[in-house]
Amino acid sequence: MSNFYLSSLMEFKFSEFARIFLLYSIISSFTSTALFFTIRFLSSMSVIIVSGVSSILKIKSAFKKKLFPFRPINSIKPYPPNIT
């Protein structure tokens, strides 16, 4: 009787351990997947933010050139003499 009780206790402990291990493996796989997708999302968002900022700066400089197309007189350099 005690041998049966001991074997059933060991079986219960093993099944409990297997259940905990399975739960841990499922949680860790979800966590690693979530971490992977979070890193991918953050890197793609940083690329989007950087490209958006650079395009905003390009648009800003284009508007400045459109509003002020002429340079001041003192910034215009004469052409070098044509040596033939």
The answer to whether residue 76 is domain-embedded is no
Taking the C-alpha atoms of 32, 38, 42 and 47 in order, what is their torsion angle to the nearest 10 degrees? 80
> Rounded to two decimals, what is the model's pTM?
0.39
**Helices (runs of H) and strands (runs of E) counted in the chain:** 1, 0
Q: How large is the average pLDDT for residues 23-42?
A: 82
Return phi, psi of residue 71, to 5°.
-85, 155
pLDDT at 68: 59
The answer to whether residue 11 is domain-embedded is yes
Please report where in the chains the tokens 């050139």 appear, as a residue: 65
Say yes or no to pLDDT of 1 above 70.
Answer: no
Containing structural domain, residue 58: 2-68
pLDDT confidence tier of residue 75, bands split at 50, 70 and 90: low
Number of domains in the chain: 1
